[in-house]
Amino acid sequence: MPYENLEISTRSPVLSWANHPLKSDELQMAKNVASLPFVFKHVALMPDVHLGKGALVGSVIATKEAIIPAAVGVDIGCFVGDTLIPVVDGKSYPIKELADRSEEFIVYACSSTGRIVAAKATAKLTRKNAALVKVILDNGEEIICTPDHQFMLRDGSYEEAQNLQPETSLMPFYSKVDKDGYTLIAQPYSGKWQKAHWIIARSGLLGKVNKFEGQRTVIHHRNFNESDNRPENLEFIGDGDHSAYHRKLVERNQHWQSPAFEEKRVAALAKKAQTPEGYQYYAERGTKNILQYMQQQPEHFKQAVADNGIRGKQYLLAYNQSEKGKAKSKEIANRYYTCDICGTEVKTPIGLHNHRRKEHQCNHKIVAVLPLNCTEDVYCLTVPEYHNFALKAGVFVHNCGMCAIKTSFKGEQLEGKLKKIRLDIEAAIPTGFNENKDVEKSVTNWQRWGDFKDLHRGVQDLQGKAMRQLGSLGGGNHFIEVCLDTENFVWLMLHSGSRNIGNNLAQCHIHTAKELAKMAGNNLPDPDLAHFVAGTPEFQAYWHDLQWSQDYARVNRDVMMARFKRIVEKHLAGGKAIKPLLEVNCHHNYAEKEVHFGEDVYVTRKGAVRAQEEDYGIIPGSMGAKSYIVKGKGNAHSFCSCSHGAGRLLSRNKAKNTYTLDDLIEQTKGVECRKDTGVLDEIPGAYKPIEQVMANQSDLVEVEATLKQVLCVKG
């Protein structure tokens, strides 16, 4: 349906997709927001609009040079189409080309411990006509992206492009091809180069590493292209079998027995022997051969080594005292080694090591960030497990997140297992006010705990609680669901946020905004509309904490989704990991800097989802109702937004006073879920009919999949 321009007298118009008259208190709240002097163009109300704090839930507010701290979180920025992404096949592709393929590929990502890994990814168009900045690195590379795209810093935290300062250290991505054609990657945590095919293997993309009795495990490139490290091109093989296989190819390729190849082979073996790994390998192999020789020919061995010390001593002394020996000792002491990062010549191996630690720390730094007076369509990757990826320019950047996945399981596989799955979920993922009793390693290793000290002073005593709550659902309308689509595929979906720490940060900043409004004598229609002005220290502090909270919320969902997925895999696939068919991410209750109607504005989506053209989103119904996977149509009048759900029809207290436990049991028939008074306020009857909500926003989104819940876990 088209929107309705509400007939109210305010500074800015109010456009509504609700298709029903607003109640008097809802209308007053809309008027309050629309009367603010910094509101841009108009206020947009989504179909699920209802009363909130300060602003209606389901409202989209674009503002100029100001922001109202009524929502927590930020979205992710993106890159122009010709940005190069290194892929494990040894080539780098423009991100637009990857998006046009509409298929999965494998990129390099960085784990929370600073280790580079290989990870599956997809690419898509994320915005049209986006504002841009140019990020210039000290290696001469230039990256053009949206101002809000997050870059990974050297300590593993993230910062938006527009906030990067000169000399800021970024997490680096160094790669090169060695003389034999193998791709090498420098590990940031150690500075050591590692062969890319072993990074693929150790990322679990080749399955369990095979062992071969009496042989060392190596990796064979099936097409003999040593830079092509796609998993389908790699296989484990014993080193002896590998050598024998290559010897069989002699008739097809005389190169293997040519003097040139033999010379190259001997040189390669000698070079390998000079590395710590090679020295250890040849030492172990030599020891094995000597021991075998000693056992098989003991008398000959005794005769061969008789008087070794006496004979060797005289030769060694003579060599050291000779001109040749003295020259060799001097040459070793003054030998120069080349830094493989910058090419600098440094004396002695110890000097090289110290140079690399002091000058590089395996690092890239910012030279400048320049705003550009142009707009372009932009793209991003989704890397579900690690949420970052490497650019050819040599740095890691953030990607879009995840809160729903389509699996390859079918509905019939769930028969008789739903209750066990629900009980396992409730045992593994704390709900309501509960916390994790044990804090897992993936939580304690999160890099951004180091930034906790920089958050608002009002939360400094909450780090322990925040750590225990990472990986917990919370209460209210947060949920974990197993759904079926119209083709009977199983979907896993969850909704949660930044938990208690995010709420506390928001309250701290809302209090600050209210105090500033009092001091300035601002006569606001509602105290909850107190705001920060761009460029002020308070705005910067709020925006910084907003970033941290959103990162926390993302990791919280990641931890839960990983546990959720493992539980379902245990019951439906015997614990075997499955590959998702589709992964969808969307945020609501967040603010983002965007371009609308040709101008830079801050867009606050309070209970709304971004729905730019080709954006995937999730619009869940109430407990027991349908949910929808949608794709945005980029409607400019809604500031490219849509609803985030059905929207409440009754307040929580009114729902409890209106409905009974029998009503809850009846309305959730066919859904495996709690059926007690503790979740009575989440009864489907307390929400608007989701089908009507979807009909009201047919000009905002198109439906990609219709889901029906069969299991629901609530706080």
Cβ count near 74 (within 10 Å): 20
Q: Tell me, what amino acid is at 403?
A: C
Mean pLDDT computed over 468-476:
86
Mean pLDDT computed over 534-539:
93
* pLDDT above 70: residue 29: yes
Rounded Cα–Cα distance for residues 12 and 8 (Å): 9
Per-domain boundaries in the chain: 4-74+401-649+687-714
Q: What is the pLDDT of residues 451-462, one digit of tens each?
A: 899 999 999 999
* pLDDT above 80: residue 158: no
Rounded Cα–Cα distance for residues 71 and 57 (Å): 10
| DSSP letter (8 states) at residue 21 | P
Mean pLDDT computed over 268-296:
79
| DSSP letter (8 states) at residue 589 | S
* pLDDT above 70: residue 592: yes
| Lowest-confidence segment of 4-13, 217-226, 614-623 by average pLDDT | 614-623
Mean pLDDT computed over 154-169:
83
* pLDDT above 70: residue 370: yes
Mean pLDDT computed over 593-604:
90
- Percent of the chain, pLDDT > 70? 92
pLDDT band at 360 (very low <50, low <70, confident <90, very high): low
Q: What is the pLDDT of residues 387-400, one digit of tens each?
A: 788 999 886 664 43
pLDDT band at 401 (very low <50, low <70, confident <90, very high): very low
| Lowest-confidence segment of 26-40, 357-371, 428-442, 496-510 by average pLDDT | 357-371
pTM of the complete model beyond 0.75: no
CATH architecture of structural domain 4-74+401-649+687-714: Alpha-Beta Complex (3.90)
Mean pLDDT of the chain: 85
3-state secondary structure of 682: helix
What is the 3-state secondary structure of 392-421?
CCCEEEECECCCEEEEEEEHHHHCCCHHHH
| DSSP letter (8 states) at residue 215 | B
pLDDT band at 28 (very low <50, low <70, confident <90, very high): very high
Give me the active site residues, please: 644
Strand ranges (DSSP E) for 103-192?
105-110, 116-137, 142-145, 150-152, 158-160, 169-170, 175-177, 183-186
| Lowest-confidence segment of 383-397, 464-478, 508-522 by average pLDDT | 383-397
109 and 115 Cβ atoms separated by less than 8 Å = no
Please state the length of the chain: 715
**Look-up of token digits 């321009």:** 5
Higher pLDDT, 24 or 88: 88
Q: List the one residue out of 426, 380, 384 whose CA is nearest residue 405.
A: 384
* pLDDT above 80: residue 99: yes
Spatial CB neighbours of 302, under 8 Å, sequence gap ≥ 6: none
Q: What is the pLDDT of residues 197-227, one digit of tens each?
A: 999 999 999 999 999 999 999 999 999 999 9
Spatial CB neighbours of 264, under 8 Å, sequence gap ≥ 6: none
| DSSP letter (8 states) at residue 686 | G
Q: What is the pLDDT of residues 648-682, one digit of tens each?
A: 888 777 888 899 999 999 999 989 998 888 888 88
* pLDDT above 80: residue 538: yes
**Look-up of token digits 């784990």:** 111
pLDDT band at 34 (very low <50, low <70, confident <90, very high): very high
The pLDDT of residue 399: 46
Higher pLDDT, 56 or 43: 43
CA distances from 625 to 182, 576, 664, 686, 691 (A): 54, 30, 13, 12, 9
pLDDT band at 341 (very low <50, low <70, confident <90, very high): low
Largest CA distance in the chain: 109
646 and 687 Cβ atoms separated by less than 8 Å = yes
427 and 172 Cβ atoms separated by less than 8 Å = no
470 and 555 Cβ atoms separated by less than 8 Å = yes
Please list, residue by residue across 136-171, b when 16 or more beta carbons sit within 10 angstroms of its beta carbon and e when fewer do. Answer: bbeeebebbbbbbbbbbbbebbbbbbbbbeeebebb
